[in-house]
Amino acid sequence: MFQLRVKVLLLLLVLLGSTTFGAAEPGGNGDGLRDMQCGGACHGDAGQNATSSLSLSIETPEHVWAGQPTEVTIVVAGVDVSHDEDLVGLFLLSSTNANGDTPLSNGWEILSDGSGGTGNYVERSTDGSGASLQHTWILRADAIGERTLFASVHHGDATGSSQGRPFFGISEAFVINIEPVPEDLPRLHEDFVPPSMREVGEVTLVELQTKFTETVAVEWQTEDGVTLEASVNASGEQVWEFTLPATLKPSSLQWRATFTGQGPEQTTPWFTLAAQVTPAEVDDRPIYIQGLAMGLLLFGAVVALQKPRTNSEDLLKTFDQTVEIQTIQAADSVVESTSDAPAPLPEGGLPPGWTEEQWAWYGHEYLAGTYGGGQ
C-alpha cells in the first residue's frame, strides 16, 4: 500500500515538473484593455522579469483639441537588435501605478487601437522588418488641460543566456497639452463614435455627425494600401452618410474624413474597421459533465488508495464453514441410514400373505397405509 502511494506521488511530481514556470508567453495573450501589472505578471513569471533595452517614445500632432480624435503613436527602437523577439506587446498607459493606469482613468476615450479594437494593449509581430516598430491609437480627451501618457513594452528573448525570460520596459512621462477647439473649426461632433468591428460579408453604413461643416469627403484604403473614395450624402443638418464595402475574409480597412467650412479644412485620423467571423456558440454542458466525471473518478481513486487491505487469513476464517458442512453431511447420512432400515413389524407379526422380503421393501408403505391395513 505504501509503495503504491509513493508511485502516485512520483507521477504527480513528474507531471508538475514537465511544465515551464519561468518562460515568457511566446504566443501572447491577445489585444485588450490591461493595466501595466499585466506586463509583469500575466505574460510570464513576474519573479523572472528582466528590464528591456528597447527605446520607447510617444508622438502626437501639434494640436490636440478637447473632444476631437487625435493620433497617439508609440515608436519602439532597437527591435531585433537588442533582443531576438518575434512578438512585442505594447501598452499605452496614463500612469505607472500598475493598477487603474489605462488612459480611461485619466480623461481619455479610446476610439481605436489600430487593430479593430478599443483597448490600450496590442501585440505586434516584428517579422524582422526593421529596427523600429510603430503603432497608432486614436484617442479623444474629454477636457482641456495637461494629460500624461506612458509607453510600455513586453517581450521575450529567443537566444542567449536570457532565452525564455520575460522582458518589460516603460518610457518616461510624455505630457500632452489639450487645447480648446476653435469656434468655427469644421469638425466631428463630440458624441461621434466610429465603428471598430463588423462581421465578414457585412456592408457598413457610417453616419457622421459634424459641426460647422459644409462639405465632407471620405477616403478608405485596404490592407494592401489601395485608396478609394466613398460617396458621401447629406442625410440631415450636419449629418452625413457613406458606405464601406464588405470583405470576403477576416481583414481590416481604414477610413478618414475631410471637412470643409468657414474655418480651416480639417482631416480626421485614420479609423480602423476590422471584419471577423464570430465563432459559433459552444454547449458547455458536456464539458461540465466530463469535469464532474473526472472529479468523481479522482475521488474514487483517493478513497481506494486510503482503504485498508483485508488480511487473506481473515477472509479464510470468515468463510470457513467446515464444521457446519460436516454436521449437515452427518445428518444426511443418518437420514439415509434410517430410510434404508426395514420397517418394524406389527404386533401380530407379518401381515397375512406377506413374506419377509416383501416386508423389507414395502413395510414402510404398509405402515403408512398405502396398501391398507396400517394405521
Pairwise CA distance, residues 183 & 66, whole Å: 12
Q: What are the backbone angles phi and psi of residue 208, rounded to the nearest 5°?
A: -100, 130
The answer to whether 50 and 165 are in contact (CB under 8 A) is: yes
The answer to whether 170 and 150 are in contact (CB under 8 A) is: yes
DSSP secondary structure letters along 328-346: HHHHHHHHHHHHHSPPPPP
Pairwise CA distance, residues 40 & 154, whole Å: 8
The answer to whether 319 and 310 are in contact (CB under 8 A) is: no
Q: What is the pLDDT along the chain (375 residues), one digit of tens a residue?
A: 556 665 655 655 555 454 444 455 555 678 888 887 765 555 555 556 788 888 999 999 999 999 999 999 999 988 876 666 678 889 999 998 877 889 999 999 999 999 888 999 999 887 666 678 899 999 999 999 999 999 999 888 777 667 777 888 899 999 999 999 999 999 999 999 999 999 999 999 999 999 999 999 999 999 888 999 999 999 999 999 999 999 889 999 999 999 999 999 999 999 999 998 877 665 667 777 777 777 777 777 777 676 565 555 554 555 455 555 555 455 455 445 445 677 788 877 888 888 888 888 887 788 777 655 444
* Burial class of residue 80 (count of CB atoms within 10 Å of its CB; 0-12, 13-18, 19+): middle
Is the domain spanning 187-276 CATH 2.60.40.10? The answer is yes
Domain layout of the chain by residue ranges: 22-179, 187-276, 312-367
Edge-to-edge order in the sheet of strand 239-244: 187-188, 204-211, 239-244, 233-236
- Collapsing DSSP states into helix, strand and coil, what is residue 89? strand
Q: Write down the pTM of the prediction.
A: 0.66
What integer pLDDT is reported at residue 40 of this predicted model?
53
Q: Which residues of 84-114 are buried (b: 16+ CB within 10 A; e: fewer)?
A: bbebbbbbbbbbeeeeebbbbebbbbbbbbb
* Interstrand relation of 69-77 and 55-59 (parallel, antiparallel or unpaired): antiparallel
What integer pLDDT is reported at residue 16 of this predicted model?
47
The answer to whether 273 and 255 are in contact (CB under 8 A) is: yes
Q: What is the pLDDT of residues 87-145, one digit of tens each?
A: 888 999 999 887 788 999 999 999 999 988 899 999 988 766 667 889 999 999 999 99
Q: What is the pLDDT of residues 142-165, one digit of tens each?
A: 999 999 999 999 888 777 667 777
Side chain identity, residue 142:
D
Pairwise CA distance, residues 27 & 62, whole Å: 37
CATH of 22-179, one of 3.30.70.20, 3.40.30.10, 2.60.40.10, 3.30.450.80: 2.60.40.10
User: Taking the chain, what is the end-to-end CA distance rounded to the nearest angstrom?
Assistant: 71
What integer pLDDT is reported at residue 50 of this predicted model?
82
The beta strands (E) that lie in 50-117 are given as 50-51, 55-59, 64-65, 69-77, 87-93, 108-112
What integer pLDDT is reported at residue 58 of this predicted model?
95
> CA–CA distance from 270 to each of 51, 113, 117, 267, 336 (Å)?
33, 11, 14, 9, 111
- Collapsing DSSP states into helix, strand and coil, what is residue 266? strand
- Cβ atoms < 10 Å from Cβ of 298: 10
Backbone region of residue 329 per phi and psi (left: phi > 0; alpha: psi in -120 to 50; beta: other values): alpha
Domains 22-179 and 187-276 share a fold: yes
What integer pLDDT is reported at residue 230 of this predicted model?
96
